[in-house]
Structure 1
Amino acid sequence: MKPLRITQQGIVFSIFVVLFAGFAVFLPGFLTTSNMLTLLQNVAVLGILGLAMAIVVIGRGIDLSLIAALAVPPGVVLQLVQDGHSLSYALLLAALLTLAFGLVNGWLIAYAEVPSLFATLASGLFLAGLGQAALFKLDVVQWSPGLEGFEGLGQGAVLGIPMPIVMFVGACIVVAIFLRRTRFGAFIYAIGDNPFAARSSGIPTRPLIVLQYVLAALIGMLAGLVLAASVNSMPTRIYNSTLIYDVILVVVLGGIGLAGGRGGVLNVVIGTLLIGTMLNAMTIMDVSYSGQNLVKGVVLLAAVIADSFLNPRNEETAQQGDI
């Protein structure tokens, strides 16, 4: 018989099961319909962002601008409709803005060879600042009558399943097919595993790096649209929150190695379940914002240390694409 192989995603899933069961039994208000709906909504947005980050991290990069992509383009949609433009026109402009943003990120990293950590930090600050200074009239862009029906993206249901979860599941299926069933997905794994070997074998590494950041930005916009439709507004100041650290937590804790070339959609789902449940429980227990950040910081540090042991970086290829 083969020995039982213990994996990080197996450990994390076991922890999730134990925590969920413990909270359900001992934490009043956790296992209620309203709280489960809130949990599912938050988990869906976090999970969609986790999918975007996973594509980049598998290719040995990182994207700190995801929250700007979540906040600004959907905010532009709400602002344009509020100003009297049609929803289709607003969505088109927001999609073009997102596409341009992803292309700039990818070009900076692939062709200008700016480290992804610094490139996406700078571009995210720029896009968020542009939105707050020139695109939005208020920090919270309100819903308007021209968006009637669009709230179903965040508040509707399919066969009793909340629409945000449907969107998350749909995004999981599409990303899983892209990563595991397409040539481009295989190339991204190859780049993450060994960029020098990938380039030597004829893989167009630079265009594929650009593709990663374009896809991440578009998926981030999708998450923002789901969030805006869920709460009937877009709080653009969300960029200043710690949401990006929650996304990194989901990816690293789920088992996607920062060294690149490993992991997939299942890792994102498992990490999302654990982090979403943990954050929801801390909110019910009225843990302060600072206390929650302390817990998340400890968990993230533990996850990064575990990742360094479970997914050691190959020193021969560590420099190219280093985050």
Structure 2
Amino acid sequence: MPKLKPEYLSQENIVLLLTVALLAGFALLVPGFASAGNLIALVRGVSILGVLAIGMGLVVIGRGIDLSMVAVMALSVTWMLSMANDGTPLLVAAGWAFLAVIAVGVLNGVMIAYAEVPALFATLATGSFVYGFGRSTLITQDTVAVTSTDSFFQWLGATYIGPFPIEIIFFAGTAILAEMILRMTVFGKYVYLMGDNYLAARNVGIPVRPMIVAQYLFSSLVAFTAGIITAANLLSMSTRIVNSQLLYDIILVVVVGGIGLNGGKGGIRNVVIGALLVGILSNGLTILDVPDLYQKLVKALVLLCALIADSLLNPRNEQTEKQGDI
């Protein structure tokens, strides 16, 4: 009997099998779980989470992390809606918010690439500053609703392609675009090389500092567009999500899917698998009327198991230790 190849035991394949097993189990045991309407609702429920995880995943592949994504998403779109409600043309408000998002992404990249501040602390500080400055200076209330004059958001939120709402279409489109960037462009090749061995990438002439800035700019833009889709779906945006567990869910999806925290490994399909696993788990437990507190406990256990699996399947070596943590 031939031995299984080591790659068959990758975290991605293990999570994929677990996802299929959960899907089959809930479909057999939970009434209504396998209906087309519920499955579409399941994917819709994790689409924005999946989009944010795509932005985070690209940064993690390049051996970084972005803890400012949720703050950027919430504050930029809330500020845009606030300006629009105060009489600023929506296009102008969107332009100011877009420039602010670019500034935050570039600031993150410059601090990490040129000032050599660890990504964990740089993005944590940036996220805290964005929330504090925006909430104290630019935005007067926690939640800002889309007014009846903002027809763009109402149109976008009501957009369907066949049976699929805009959130699923946006998730699929972002996943395809990010996969093409990573697999078919020089930028994507450089991201993997940097994540695999930062010092070697620099020695062979890869512009690692501008590349780092580009990674964080990409994640900020992904967060902004995810916020626009969220506002179109809910017809509002709240700054309170900054203090929710959304950021932890993003990291959960990335790590569970199999993107190694050491960098240089994984891809967008890992994010898709991780998002589907979290979606199936949350949907099934909700239908079974499991309290939210226990759902959080289950997610925490899944994240802990994923971190342990990552450390076992992607062990840190001497070279990794010299290059520092994310």
- Superposed pair shares fold, TM > 0.5: yes
Amino acid at match of 1:172: A
Cα distance between partner residues in 2 of 1:279 and 1:128? 28
Checking the alignment, whether the CA contact within 8 Å between 2:70 and 2:241 is kept in structure 1 is yes
Amino acid at match of 1:298: L
Return the offset for 1:98: 0.5
Alignment correspondent of 2:52: 49
Does residue 110 in structure 1 map to residue 113 in structure 2? yes
Return the offset for 1:172: 0.8
Output one character per residue of 1:282-323: Cα deviation in whole Å (capped at 9) or x when no partner. Answer: 233333333222211111111011001111223213332522
Cα distance between partner residues in 2 of 1:176 and 1:146? 37
The normalised TM-score by structure 1 is 0.95
Alignment of 1:209-288 (within 5 A): 209-288=212-291
Name which of 303, 306, 309 aligns with 2:312. 309
For the residue of structure 1 that corresponds to 2:322, the secondary structure is: coil
For the residue of structure 2 that corresponds to 1:256, the secondary structure is: coil
Alignment correspondent of 2:323: 320
Cα distance between partner residues in 2 of 1:18 and 1:28? 17
Cα distance between partner residues in 2 of 1:305 and 1:141? 40
Return the offset for 1:115: 0.8
Name which of 87, 90, 109 aligns with 1:87. 90
Cα distance between partner residues in 2 of 1:34 and 1:237? 29
Name which of 192, 196, 199 aligns with 2:202. 199
Q: Identify if the C-alpha distance between structure 1 residues 189 and 138 changes in structure 2 by more than 3 Å, giving closer, same or farther.
A: same
Range with bigger deviation, 272-281 or 233-242: 272-281
Checking the alignment, whether the CA contact within 8 Å between 1:43 and 1:272 is kept in structure 2 is yes
Cα distance between partner residues in 1 of 2:287 and 2:135? 32
Name which of 25, 28, 33 aligns with 2:28. 25
Cα distance between partner residues in 2 of 1:309 and 1:42? 31
Checking the alignment, whether the CA contact within 8 Å between 2:145 and 2:237 is kept in structure 1 is yes
Percent identity for Structure 1 against Structure 2: 49
For the residue of structure 2 that corresponds to 1:113, the secondary structure is: coil
Alignment correspondent of 1:74: 77
Checking the alignment, whether the CA contact within 8 Å between 2:77 and 2:228 is kept in structure 1 is yes
Checking the alignment, whether the CA contact within 8 Å between 1:50 and 1:247 is kept in structure 2 is yes
Return the offset for 1:176: 0.8
Cα distance between partner residues in 2 of 1:73 and 1:38? 27
Cα distance between partner residues in 1 of 2:290 and 2:93? 39
Cα distance between partner residues in 1 of 2:84 and 2:149? 6
Alignment correspondent of 2:179: 176
Show structure 2 runs of 5+ residues with no match. Answer: none
Does residue 295 in structure 1 map to residue 298 in structure 2? yes
Alignment correspondent of 1:63: 66
Does residue 160 in structure 1 map to residue 163 in structure 2? yes
Checking the alignment, whether the CA contact within 8 Å between 2:40 and 2:164 is kept in structure 1 is no
Checking the alignment, whether the CA contact within 8 Å between 2:49 and 2:275 is kept in structure 1 is yes
For the residue of structure 1 that corresponds to 2:153, the secondary structure is: coil
For the residue of structure 2 that corresponds to 1:145, the secondary structure is: coil
Output one character per residue of 1:156-213: Cα deviation in whole Å (capped at 9) or x when no partner. Answer: 1112221111111111111111111111111111110000100111111111111111
Show structure 1 runs of 5+ residues with no match. Answer: none
Corresponding residue pairs, total: 323
